[in-house]
Amino acid sequence: MNSSWLVTLPILLPMLGAVLGLLFRKLRRLQIVVTALVILSALATSLALLMTVSLTNRPVVFQVGGWPAPAGITLIGDYLSAFMVLMSQIVLAAGILYATGCQDKCVRFPGFYPLLLMLATGLTGALLTGDLFNMFVFAELMVISGAVLTAISDDRFGVEAAYKYFYISLLASMLLLLSCGALYATYGTLNMADLSRQISAKPDLPLTGLAMVLLLVFFMIKSAVVPFHFWQPDFHTAATTPLSALLSSVVVKLGVYGFIRMTSLLFLDQAPEIRQALVVMGCIGVILGGFGAIGTHNAKRMLAYSTLAQIGFILTGIGWGTPLSLAAALIFTFNHSLIKSAMLMLAGGMASRAAVKSAAFQVLVGVGKASPAAGVLFFLGGISLAGIPPTNGFISKFVFFTSGLEAQAYFSMALIGVASLLTLVYTMRGFMKIWWEEPAGSAKTKTGGDRLIIPALLITLCLILGVWAEPLVNLSQHIVSWLDNPAFYIQAVLGG
């Protein structure tokens, strides 16, 4: 079998799973087994994809339907997208496996797993596609399936969150469509490699700037960059826990991927300006997110706000624009995905044990008493989020600080330092509330709740990646070395 198939399988397998899940929607056991198998094999293929990219040292390219680029749609797994896909699939698999042990009612709805797999399809596809409009389609798949899954959440406010998310995403989709249109009108193609080539050749055509800003804002909405973040705390909180874990960790990373693509492929000439904007908005996000996480009254919401801040970190890293800072952003992206999903699962797991199912702190106070092991995990996750060794969060922070120093971005570094302290404040406060404080009144915790083996595995992975960080760091540096050379990508897609 041709290795170019590897780039389709991470998309098609979840899709197949979604279909089979729909067919077996009355046989829940079978549905779960199929879903798990599918997502695990998708994970395996993503891993194989990354390995292939790394071994052959060239992108895996698949021209769908055999049509030559730019006429057809190209799927391309270069280092960056293969990396992002692997990251997503890890967390997706974790989320799905968590769902199998989740006590929420909505995960037992017949459409839950198919929709979750559709989300997986959308995310993977958006990362692997080499066509801007195709990305729109996949992004919409993510939006709809995500909105549905949140709307059916056990949380009564799920539908409100989904409603707002949907409208805001609609805005994003419109911007992307406008951008696609403007780019097509200007450069006559939608293939990203081709666009890159054309834009480099003529970087200053009338609509180039507008298309760029529109695309930028699209990705900002996707990644909930302040001030385009308003949907995010609601959406990530109201969703059922396995979904929250996915949304707040990997789904928001589409924008991150987009920023990197924009600055390293599509808009090379305008990249400095974009980076400047990213730094400014990243810094705002870092502070706003940190404060928001401290100010909110709900554990899951706290983690959602925290994602605002963490995305801010990543943006800043991309914005600094040095190879090291890009690597830092990638490392941060990966690590954050693991940590945040684990933390959300833990918070949700505790909520499932509370007398009244809720992640509100007033309900969660003292709930952790029954599960001290979860406390250890949450604590480790918390210090990882705050960037304290020996966790992977520390590696992120270390590379980040190093690159910031190298980029001489002192002011943003100072802000980021403050934000790190804020992170420590909210994670530890949350920890103390759930595991250390005594429950008020007679509220009793339930004997059981969501299974916590998955967050345990994720936290273990965080620790492993904290101690044995070389592969990730090395990988991210390789990715950056590819990003430095967009011709590589272009050549792989268009040939010649």
Partner 1 sequence: MLSPWLVLPLLTIGLAAVLPVLFFRRKSSTLRMAWLMSVFPATAFGLLLWLSSQVSPGKPVTIQLEWLPSLNLSLSLYLDNLSALFALMVTGIGTLVVIYTGYYFRKDTSAWQFLAYLLLFMTSMLGLVMAGDIITLFIFWEGTSITSFLLIGYKYKTEDARQSAFKALFITGGGGIALLAGLIWIASIAGGTDYATILASGNALRGSPYYPIILGLVALGALTKSAQTPAHFWLPAAMAAPTPASAFLHSATMVKAGIYLLARLNPSLGYTELWFYLLTGVGIITMLVGAYLGFKQNDLKALLAYSTICQLGVMVAMIGQDIEIAYKALVISVLAHSLYKSALFMTAGIVDHETGTRDLRRLGGLARLMPKTSAVALVAGLSMAGLPPLFGFLAKETLLATSLHPSLPPIIGALFPWAAVAAGALLLAQSGLFVYDVFFGKPSDLQHPAKGHEPPAGMWLMPAIPAVLSLAIGLLPEPERLASFLAGAAGDAFGSPVKVSLALWTGLSAPLALSIVAIFSGCILFIFRHRLRPAMQTLLPAIQLNAVYNAVLQGIDRGAELVTRLQRGQLRFYLAIMLTSLGILIVLFQAIPLRYLNDLLPSTPVAPGRLDLLRIFTLGLAVLSSLITVFLRRDLYAILALSISGLAVALWIALEPAPDVALVQIIVDMLATVILVLSLTRLPRPQREKARELTFRQSRPGLLRDGLIAVGSGLLVATLVYVSLSTRPHTSLVSPFYAANAKPLTGAKDIVGAILVDFRSFDTLFEIMVFAAAGLGIHMLLHYAARKAGDQEEPDPRPLAPDEHPALGVGGLPTSSLLHLLAYSLLPLAMLLAVIEMMYGHDQPGDGFTAGIVISLAVGFWYVIFGYHFTKKQLPWLRSGYLIAVGILIGLINGLLSTLFGTGFLSPVDYGSMLNLPLPSGFNLSNSFLFEVAICLTVLGSATYILDNLGRPKEADPESDALLRTIEEETIPQSGRRSA
Partner 2 sequence: MNLLSALAIGTMFAVGIFQLLRRNVIRSAIGLIILTNAINLFLFTTGAYQGVVAAYDGLNGQISDPLPQALVLTAIVISMGGFSFVLGMLYIISVRYKTSDSDQIKGLSH
Q: Please name which of 136, 5, 129 lies closest in space to residue 69, comparing C-alpha atoms.
A: 129
Q: Which stretch binds partner 1 (CB under 8 A): 86-94, 314-322, 440-448, 451-459?
A: 440-448
Q: What is the DSSP string of 309-340?
A: HHHHHHHHHHHH--HHHHHHHHHHHHHHHHHH
What residues pair up with 480 in beta bridges, in sequence order? none
Total chain residues near partner 1 (CB under 8 A) = 146
Minimum CB separation of residue 451 from partner 1 in Å reads: 12
Distance CA 47, CA 123 (A): 16
If one asks whether residue 51 binds partner 1 (CB under 8 A), the answer comes out as no
Enumerate residues 222-251 that contact partner 2 by CB under 8 A: 233-234, 237-238
Select 143 or 458, whichever has its Cβ closest to partner 2: 143
Distance CA 77, CA 263 (A): 18
Crossing angle of helices 392-406 and 410-431, rounded to 10°: 160
Residue 104 interacts with, from partner 1, partner 2, none (CB under 5-8 Å by kind): partner 1
Residue 237 interacts with, from partner 2, partner 1, none (CB under 5-8 Å by kind): partner 2
User: Please, which contacts does 415-420 make with residues 24 or more away whose CB atoms are closer than 8 Å?
Assistant: 415/283, 415/286, 415/287, 416/283, 416/286, 416/313, 416/316, 418/287, 418/290, 419/286, 419/287, 419/289, 419/290, 419/309, 419/312, 419/313, 420/386, 420/387
Candidates 35, 45, 63, 333; binder of partner 1 (CB under 8 A) is 63
Enumerate residues 164-183 that contact partner 1 by CB under 8 A: 164, 167-168, 171, 175, 178, 181-182
If one asks whether residue 8 binds partner 1 (CB under 8 A), the answer comes out as yes
- Token pair, residue 141, equals 């798949």
User: What are the percentages of helix, strand and coil residues in the chain, rounded to 5?
Assistant: 75, 5, 20
Total chain residues near partner 2 (CB under 8 A) = 37
If one asks whether residue 484 binds partner 1 (CB under 8 A), the answer comes out as no
Distance CA 161, CA 163 (A): 5
Q: What is the DSSP string of 374-429?
A: HHHHHHHHHHHHTT-TTSHHHHHHHHHHHHHHHTT-HHHHHHHHHHHHHHHHHHHH
Candidates 76, 182, 315, 367; binder of partner 2 (CB under 8 A) is 182
Enumerate residues 117-176 that contact partner 2 by CB under 8 A: 133, 136-137, 140, 143-144, 147-148, 151, 156-157, 159-164, 166-167, 170, 173-174
Enumerate residues 377-436 that contact partner 1 by CB under 8 A: 383, 386, 388-390, 394-395, 397-399, 401-402, 405-406, 413, 417, 420-422, 424-425, 428-429, 432, 435-436
Mask for 263-302, x = binds partner 1 (CB under 8 A): ----------x---x----------x--xxxxxxx-----
Enumerate residues 306-365 that contact partner 1 by CB under 8 A: 352, 355-358, 360, 362-363
Candidates 30, 54, 101, 163; binder of partner 1 (CB under 8 A) is 163
If one asks whether residue 217 binds partner 1 (CB under 8 A), the answer comes out as yes
If one asks whether residue 457 binds partner 1 (CB under 8 A), the answer comes out as no
Written as one letter, the residue type at 248 is S
What residues pair up with 63 in beta bridges, in sequence order? 74
Rg for the chain, CA atoms, rounded: 21
If one asks whether residue 487 binds partner 1 (CB under 8 A), the answer comes out as no
Select 143 or 250, whichever has its Cβ closest to partner 2: 143
Collapse the DSSP code of 63 into the 3-class scheme (helix H, G, I; strand E, B; otherwise coil) and give the result: strand
Q: What DSSP character marks residue 77?
A: E
If one asks whether residue 67 binds partner 2 (CB under 8 A), the answer comes out as no
- The CA–CA distances, whole Å, from 481 to 86, 153, 200, 488 equal 19, 42, 19, 10
Q: Which stretch binds partner 2 (CB under 8 A): 107-115, 197-205, 289-297, 444-452?
A: 289-297
Candidates 101, 209, 323, 439; binder of partner 1 (CB under 8 A) is 209
Candidates 101, 111, 323, 439; binder of partner 1 (CB under 8 A) is 111
Mark 150-171 as b/e (b = at least 16 C-beta within 10 Å).
Answer: bbbbbbeebeebbbbbbebbee
Report yes or no: 274 and 216 within 8 Å, Cβ to Cβ.
yes
Select 80 or 383, whichever has its Cβ closest to partner 1: 383
Select 15 or 39, whichever has its Cβ closest to partner 2: 15
Positions that interact with partner 2 (CB under 8 A): 133, 136-137, 140, 143-144, 147-148, 151, 156-157, 159-164, 166-167, 170, 173-174, 177-178, 180-182, 184-185, 188, 233-234, 237-238, 295-297
